[in-house]
Structure 1
Amino acid sequence: MKRSWGLQSSLPDDIALKIASLLPVQFPTPVPDVCALGSCSRFWRELCGSNCIWQSLAKERWPYLAQFEESSSSSTATNPPISKGWRGFYIKRHREMEGRAAAVTEFLERCSLTASLDVGDYLKAIEDLHTMQLGFKDVQMFLFNPKRNVLLNLVGLAYCIYWLGVPGEYVVEELENCKISARRVCVKWWKLGRWFHGFRMRDESHSRWVSLADLAKAKEQEVLIVLQRGAIHEVLCVQISAADPTCTPWSC
């Protein structure tokens, strides 16, 4: 052990940091690998706890932090720069994002006790994620979990594509990594009956089963339009249901 410690401590800092930075990226972040390496010895614990490592991890997970750091560096003493403690910042930020995701989960749970969700609540949940500033990796970690209800998976998918602007192929790749790409939802909507020779015909009912992967690939354009627009104009009502009635809703 003493010899091993001597070999490690003799490594130049830049080489050791390069080794740590080349850790394989595990889904959804390489943080578990960094922590595992840090538990190997005192040398690696000190290295893996360094600011530069956690600064890189934080900016990879929350890309907008670069702008925040610039603004905070020119602020007053009441707002110290993040760089004084990136590891602590990362842990604190992770817990904040976890709490925000839990709040959205609880909201959807209240709105769909029967595993069916009104489109208005669906759109509100997506907007809440935007207000809470969740990033793509936050969605991967907290909303794409296969133990979550498919309705929550769907909300995360829509948020990534329409608010974060994540390309559909990237979203599909993560859905496949999480083994939820084949999960399906049933989208039902009712359209106002058309007028014919002075008489209004009966309202039209539509129903479509779609997979998360097909929605991410934009294969179901009619369903996507209905979900994006909600219950407006000619569409009277839109309802989204979980495809598998045997699953336990909102299990974590």
Structure 2
Amino acid sequence: MENALVPQVGHADSGRLRVERLLPILARTVLVGLAVGRPLPGEMAVGWRSFYIKRHKEMADGANVVAKFVKRNSPTESLEVGDYLRLIEQLYTRGLGFKDVVMLLFASKENVLLNLVGVHYSIFLLGVPANLVLEALQSCHISERLVCVRWWKLGRWFYGFRLRDESRCRRVSLGDLVLDKEEEVLGVLHRGTIHEVLRVQISVADGPCTLWG
């Protein structure tokens, strides 16, 4: 069974995230200085430019790793939950911030599964407030995009006998997931195959959400 042991943000990570939040402020400071004709010292200008380019490349590389994996699965347009959670861990390892997610993963041209990975990462690992995630989805015109989530649960015990396994299927929008209208689905995605859940599959919702045969 896959175990949804997604890393939690600790003290060191919180410090890193605070630094990431300062980067746009520093960037604006530099740009404003240049705009009013106040040039930066040579070493500072070169150092900042090199740092910014390197940082942007690292974030783009991290997002590309995730995007390539999703595209390799595009013939079936689906992901098993173990792979899905590993993609989220990849983003965490690479240190993507929310602005990186919006720019690289929330593009309407991307697969909706990639959009979903970005939503999950933003909520659970970055701790971005739901209203900000929803605003980003709406501004990128992807809040109404749909995914289909299927999962199997082990049958319950009833007077010494185990009942048949239960299958569930939900067709949900990214916006509803953010607003907790589909709290059960988001919980299943976050926990993965643990305890009574035997399998979870996420797919593009092109049509009605049907159960496995």
Band the TM-score falls in, shorter-chain normalisation: 0.7 to 0.9
Structure 1: gaps of 5 or more residues: 1-27, 38-42, 52-80, 246-252
Contact 2:149/2:202 (CA < 8 Å) preserved in 1?
A: yes
1:97 and 2:59 are equivalent in the alignment: yes
Structure 2: gaps of 5 or more residues: 1-23, 208-213
Contact 2:62/2:90 (CA < 8 Å) preserved in 1?
A: no
Equivalent in 98, 103, 117 of residue 79 of structure 2: 117
Contact 2:58/2:94 (CA < 8 Å) preserved in 1?
A: no
Q: Equivalences for 1:33-48 in 2 at 5 Å?
A: 44=35
SS of match in other structure, 2:195: coil
SS of match in other structure, 2:67: helix
Name the counterpart of 1:231. 193
CA 1:92–1:242 in 2, change beyond 3 Å: closer, same or farther? same
Distance 1:82 1:204 in 2: 61
Contact 1:189/1:206 (CA < 8 Å) preserved in 2?
A: yes
The offset of 1:110, in angstroms, is: 3.0
Q: Equivalences for 1:42-121 in 2 at 5 Å?
A: 44=35, 50=40, 85-111=47-73, 113-121=75-83
Question: Bigger shift: 161-170 or 90-99?
Answer: 90-99
Name the counterpart of 2:168. 206
Name the counterpart of 1:192. 154
Distance 2:142 2:185 in 1: 19
The offset of 1:45, in angstroms, is: 9.5
Which of structures 1 and 2 has the bigger CA Rg? 1
Name the counterpart of 2:104. 142
Name the counterpart of 1:181. 143
SS of match in other structure, 1:210: strand
Contact 1:108/1:125 (CA < 8 Å) preserved in 2?
A: no
The offset of 1:112, in angstroms, is: 5.0
For residues 49-103 of structure 1, give each alpha carbon's deviation from its aligned partner in whole angstroms, at most 9, with x where no partner exists: 747xxxxxxxxxxxxxxxxxxxxxxxxxxxxx97762123212211221111101
The size of the alignment, in residue pairs, is 180
Aligned residue identity for 2:157 = W
Distance 1:155 1:214 in 2: 15
Q: TM-score, normalised by structure 2?
A: 0.76
Name the counterpart of 2:7. none
RMSD: 2.8
SS of match in other structure, 1:205: strand
Name the counterpart of 1:162. 124
Contact 1:171/1:216 (CA < 8 Å) preserved in 2?
A: yes
Contact 1:194/1:201 (CA < 8 Å) preserved in 2?
A: yes
Name the counterpart of 1:16. none
Q: Which has the higher contact order (CA 8 A, sep 6+)?
A: 2
SS of match in other structure, 1:85: helix
